Structure 1
Amino acid sequence: MEEESAMRSTRTYRMGELFAGPGGIAVGAHKALKDPALFRRVAIKHAWANDYDADTVRTYFGAVREYDPSLRRNDVIHADVRKLDIDALSDIDGFAFGFPCNDYSLVGERKGIAGDFGPLYSYGVKVLEAKQPEWFVAENVGGIRSHEETFRQILLELEAAGPGYELTTHLYRFEEYGVPQKRHRVIIVGIRKDLGKRFRVPAPTTPERDDQVTAAEALDGIHPSAPNHEKTRHSPSVVRRLSQIQPGQNAWNADLSEDSRINVKGATLSQIYKRLKPNEPSYTITGSGGGGTSGYHWEEPRALTNRERARLQTFDDHHRFEGGTLSVKKQVGMAVPPKGAQVIFEALFKTLEGIPYDSVPAALSRGGARTRGRNRDS
């Protein structure tokens, strides 16, 4: 069997990325290649990647180069996507883009396609038109579904781009795939129609609550010298407030003393000073927001360190994030969990290679409700 595997020719996919972030998708794609069915059968070479943030570009380059030593510094382009010369980019076989979610998130003004970030998905469409890769993976927040007309428009444009793509769209609950975090994201996988293949949603690996990775398990054993593990120095008032908040509670539903209450009219964001429950996956780690939005330890009255936040996002401890504390917080919170990306890319590459795997019906391909079920198909 080993000789047969060694004799197979390896298919190398040249991959491009827009809105690449700190490497969550790229790292997850490489980790997928460790699956025994894909090992030595599929490989990835990074043709180019783009992000508008300088610290994020530095993080991406350092992290992804560990998996692809041929990656050059100039291959990771620091530029606003609106000023990027897409035609000048090299050809690719695969494409990934986590187009900005700010205007589709359920938190904030929810401007949708009318916002500054809402239309940026169209640059992914431009890449599909210009480069016609065999496949693509696109990611956004679950809240994009509430913008029904815009969501339908995005899907139609992706489907019709270039030679046309067969889409599979699904709301992934990442805690059901081994991620220690209740992070729900819409993932659109497209395969070029002329290939005659259709991606199927991989079956959850940790569907039951008792199977899911808890916050306590995720944060266990971090070495004190791990990068990005500096603790925040809190004021006495913040320490006092956190000491009165029980695991799972936040600043609005805890029984706080008068001097610890937050007196801001109309502000009731549930994650403000919310402490984790040790025996459950974390709530969603975010990248934006000011005081009270960093995620808070269930036992110690403090914010999580960025390394702890990265653990909840399933980044390895050697994945070093570049930049100051707030920059790193943003990078971690905006990233795609590598473990979540890994599961999707394992299924994608198995689809392309004709390898069977367990699957469930896609919930959103035709706008239907979330369904349950399990299939075994290629």
Structure 2
Amino acid sequence: MEFRLGELFCGPGGLAYGAKHACIDNPDFKIVHKWANDYDKTTCDTYIRNICPDNPSSVICEDIHYLDIEALGDIDALAFGFPCNDFSVVGEQLGFKGKFGPLYTYGVEALKTYQPQWFLAENVGGLQSANEGKAFSKIAKDLKKAGYRIYPNLYKFEDYGIPQARHRVIIIGIREDLPFEFKIPAPSRIYRTCKDAIENPPIPENAANNEKTRQSPTVVARLNYIKPGQNAFTATIPEELQLNVKGAKISQIYKRLDPSKPAYTVTGSGGGGTHIYHWSEPRALTNRERARLQTFPDDFVFEGSKENVRRQIGMAVPAMGAKLIFEAVLKTFAGISYTSVDANLNDF
């Protein structure tokens, strides 16, 4: 069975790459790209280049507020990693009152319009506690009302062999008239270190998106006092190199990776010491190194400026993490058993 996949808020293609490369023992079950939407031009260019170079018109680059959902075309599956700005644990947690909070409703509209057999919805781990838990409860209720049984779970991707501590709420939904029951795939608990991901194999010299960031002499001097795993506030740094910060001290400021562990969460930011910093060299990671932590292959080329690429990589779903979840969905429909665990999120 071939599932035609539509995507809203598609980003650069982390979910799409995982879907496209999902493979199970029954080759008749696979996922193919049908259409996708995002509002950012360079992000759409990245998606087209890597996911559907032969069908660029299938990617609609448009603000979703103005998107004609009914004109997109029939699909068998839907993926939407709706923007997480207002559900993040960092910031004001505006939730439904924020600009981005209600954007999940466009995914609900697409479900009602096309009634695909299943869907995958993704958001940050903070979704479960946003608005005192009311945000997740409301979203779950609306997804059910659209006609789906839902299977939410907080995936800790480092437990699945992704070389990064990245926690995301992912909801699988199966249309309620279908007899399939999704089970949460069991984590491997085989941990891959950030050092192994970046160095094994070595990044080719001609790899795209591998330009180094120029570090000022002050930043280089400061980093030389910060040991692996430390940040600007936990390291012993001379007074002249210390940061003059009052109030909350964010732990990821000038934080160097610990080469013996998965990386901390890759984000789209970079200013003010929020780059991810190499464990031994006094510098920020390149975008290609960051992409390695997000499990994108080296031939996955990101379009746009260095800053725009950094943002694309930071907002993506880890490609191999998406792949293993999509494979669990395919196995569910193919009737292939796999090792599973109980969900760690309640179905409200």
For normalisation by structure 1, the TM-score amounts to 0.89
Match of 1:57 among 44, 61, 82: 44
Q: Residue 262 of structure 1: CA displacement?
A: 1.0
| Alignment-derived partner of residue 218 in structure 2 | 237
- 5 Å-filtered alignment, 1:282-301, equals 282-288=263-269, 290-301=271-282
User: Could you say which residue in structure 1 is the equivalent of 2:305?
Assistant: 324
**What SS is found at the alignment partner of 2:149?**
strand
Aligned to 1:47, the other structure's residue is in SS state strand
Kept in 1, the 8 Å contact 2:30–2:330? The answer is no
- Secondary structure in 1 matching 2:264: coil
Which residue of 101, 122, 128 maps to 2:111? 128
Conserved? CA contact 2:5–2:35, under 8 Å: yes
- The counterpart of 1:31, out of the listed 8, 21, 28, is 21
Cα offset, 1:213, TM superposition: 0.4
Q: Decide which of 332, 336, 347 is 1:355's aligned counterpart.
A: 336
> What are the Cα deviations for residues 161-209 of structure 1, in whole angstroms up to 9, with x where unaligned?
1xx111000000001111000001000000001012111000112x1xx
Deviation at 1:74, TM superposition (A): 1.1
RMSD: 1.1
The amino acid of 2:18's aligned partner reads G
Is 1:213 paired with 2:192? yes
Distance (Å, rounded) in 2 between the aligned partners of 1:311 and 1:21: 17
Instruction: Give the aligned residue type for 1:175.
Output: E
Report the residue type matching 1:319 in the other structure. Answer: F
Instruction: Give 1:9-20 correspondences, 5 Å limit.
Output: 11-20=1-10
Partner of 1:312: 293
Q: CA deviation at 1:45?
A: 2.5
Give the aligned residue type for 2:10: A
Whether 1:167 aligns to 2:167 is: no
Q: Which has the higher contact order (CA 8 A, sep 6+)?
A: 2
Matches within 5 A, 1:149-168: 149-161=134-146, 164-168=147-151
Deviates more, 1:263-272 or 1:195-204: 263-272
Q: Which residue of 2 aligns with 1:371?
A: none
Instruction: Describe how 1:216-295 pairs up with structure 2 within 5 A.
Output: 216-220=195-199, 221-288=202-269, 290-295=271-276
Displacement after TM superposition at 1:267 (Å): 4.0
Q: Report the alpha carbon displacement of residue 56 of structure 1 after superposing the two structures with TM.
A: 0.4
Tell me, yes or no, if the aligned pair for 1:242 and 1:301 is still in contact at 8 Å.
yes
**Structure 2 residue 196 is the aligned partner of structure 1 residue 202:** no
Residues 178 and 339 of structure 1 are in contact (CA less than 8 Å); yes or no, is this contact kept in structure 2?
Answer: no
Consecutive unaligned residues in structure 2, runs of 5 or more: none
Classify 1:289/1:107 alpha carbon distance in 2 versus 1 (closer, same or farther; 3 Å): farther
- From 67, 85, 88, the equivalent of 1:105 is 88
1:336 is matched with which residue: 317, 325, 347? 317
Stretches of structure 1 that go unaligned for 5 or more consecutive residues are 1-10, 368-378
1:40-74 C-alpha deviation (Å, 9 max, x unpaired) = 21232221100011110000011112xxx6x5111
Equivalent residues of 2:14, 2:318 under 8 A apart = yes
The alpha-carbon deviation at position 365 of structure 1 amounts to 3.3
1:223 is paired with a residue of what secondary structure? coil
Equivalent residue of 1:190, what SS? strand
* In 1, Cα distance between equivalents of 2:122 and 2:254: 28
- The number of residues matched between the two structures is 344
How many Å apart are 1:276 and its aligned residue? 0.2
Q: Kindly provide the amino acid, as one letter, of the partner of residue 111 in structure 1.
A: L
Pairwise CA distance, 1:289 = 5.0
Asked whether the equivalents of residues 102 and 117 of structure 1 are also in contact (C-alpha less than 8 Å), the reply is yes
Secondary structure of the residue aligned to 1:41 is coil
Encode CA deviations 1:192-246: one digit per residue, 9 max, x unaligned. Answer: 01012111000112x1xxx300011000111121100000111100001111111
Deviations for 1:58-102, whole angstroms, at most 9, x for unmatched residues?
A: 00011112xxx6x51111011111110001110100000000011
Q: Distance in 2 between matches of 1:317 and 1:44?
A: 22
Give the match's secondary structure for 1:286.
coil
User: Structure 1: how far apart are the matches of 2:241 and 2:331?
Assistant: 53
Q: Go from structure 1 to structure 2 and tell me whether the alpha carbon gap of 1:326 and 1:267 turns closer, same or farther (over 3 Å shift).
A: farther
Residue in structure 1 matched with residue 11 of structure 2 by the alignment: 21
* Secondary structure, counterpart of 1:103 in structure 2: helix
**1:50·1:78 contact (CA, 8 Å) conserved in 2?**
yes
1:96 corresponds to which residue?
79
Measured after TM superposition, the shift of residue 259 of structure 1 is 1.4
Check whether the contact 1:198–1:351 (CA below 8 A) recurs between aligned residues: yes
State whether residues 167 and 365 of structure 1, in contact with CA within 8 Å, keep that contact through their aligned partners in structure 2: no
